[in-house]
Amino acid sequence: METVSTNKSHHGVQGVYKHTSSVTGTEMTFSVFVPNHAEGAKLPVVWYLSGLTCTHANVTEKGEFRAACAELGLIFVAPDTSPRGEGVPDDPEGAYDFGLGAGFYVNATQAPFDQHYKMRDYIEKELPDLIASKFPVDMSRQGIMGHSMGGHGALTIGLRNPDRFKAVSAFSPIVSPLNCPWGEKALTGYIGSDKSTWREYDSCALLEDGARLPDLLVDQGTADNFLEKELKTHLLVEACSAAGQKAEIRMQDGYDHSYYFISTFMDQHLVWHAERLG
């Protein structure tokens, strides 16, 4: 692991790091905020998964999470959204919703994306092992959260790993890739046209198939221009109700899809995670 930069912030350290990933076959960059803590202490960790077009930098620079993490004693990890670098395939038409910056947190099985686009294994396996070896984290106390495509990632990774993540939350998540254009394009391109293989990457389908979360918090802005066509929050409300899944899904009046929205409610989400991580 190579240190790209470190800055003191709120008496802790905000770092950006990179390493060569054996899973993606590329160099990957991520950020970690470590609050001030007693020597030898192990801290709970919250993972933040970003959305389409983003890198680790979006939330690191605009998420306004450090003051809350410092007060609550939370480590905050923000990975990238896709593999990058020479030879990594992109959308052939250069669209923003597929390819670079749009890994969708899946393990691709379709050529040419199957060689590098292994974001599920990167987030679920490789990066946690690296974080555990390099930072003072208590891996028995993990939460996960995300925005938009990253909200989809947080929900599905949490549903597939309920024993690992004690708290799952999301801002403006894509709740059902099976039922929106973003999801149909990405999952067809990455894992093929057989929609039965998509269910493990769809939070509503996972709930229908029996997966459960310890708890769930979702905030969605009513002025989000992606709400009706892509996000479809009502499908998650219906799926949680049908499954008896404990969830607080809040529609926030007048808020859009931007980091102005995310930063407004970030503190509330981190407090909610801290309460569940102990």
Which member of 21, 31, 50, 148 is catalytic? 148
- % residues pLDDT > 70 (the chain): 100
99 φ, ψ (degrees, to nearest 5): 85, -140
Q: What is the mean pLDDT of the chain?
A: 97
Residue 26 sits at the vertex; the CA angle it makes with 20 and 30, to the nearest 5 degrees, is: 65
pLDDT tens string 167-178: 999 999 999 999
pTM of the model: 0.97
pLDDT tens string 8-63: 999 999 999 999 999 999 999 999 999 999 999 999 999 999 999 999 999 999 99
pLDDT at 257: 98
Q: E strands, the chain, where?
A: 2-9, 12-20, 27-34, 43-49, 75-79, 137-147, 165-171, 216-221, 248-252
Rounded to whole angstroms, the Cα distance separating 173 from 269 reads 14
Which member of 97, 202, 219, 224 is catalytic? 224
Catalytic residue check, 9: no
pLDDT at 217: 98
The neighbouring-strand residues paired with 19 are: 28
pLDDT at 57: 97
- Residue 120 corresponds to which tokens in the numbers above? 């599920």
- % residues pLDDT > 90 (the chain): 100
Residue 156 sits at the vertex; the CA angle it makes with 232 and 236, to the nearest 5 degrees, is: 30
Contact present, 167 and 140 (Cβ < 8 Å)? no
pLDDT tens string 131-163: 999 999 999 999 999 999 999 999 999 999 999
Number of separate domains in the chain: 1
Rounded to whole angstroms, the Cα distance separating 144 from 47 reads 5
Q: Which domain holds residue 94?
A: 2-277
Which member of 116, 152, 257, 273 is catalytic? 257
Query: Sorting pLDDT into bands at 50, 70 and 90, what band is 237?
Result: very high
Report the CATH number at residue 196: 3.40.50.1820
Catalytic residue check, 19: no
Rounded to whole angstroms, the Cα distance separating 268 from 219 reads 10
Query: Sorting pLDDT into bands at 50, 70 and 90, what band is 81?
Result: very high
- Residue 105 corresponds to which tokens in the numbers above? 């947190």
pLDDT at 119: 98
pLDDT at 28: 98
pLDDT at 24: 98
Query: Sorting pLDDT into bands at 50, 70 and 90, what band is 126?
Result: very high
Q: How far, CA to CA in Å, does 242 sit from each of 49, 103, 114, 195? A: 27, 30, 35, 22
CA nearest to 273, candidates 242, 238, 254, 248: 248
Mean pLDDT of 90-118: 97
Catalytic residue check, 148: yes
Look at the chain and count its residues. 278
Rounded to whole angstroms, the Cα distance separating 73 from 36 reads 8
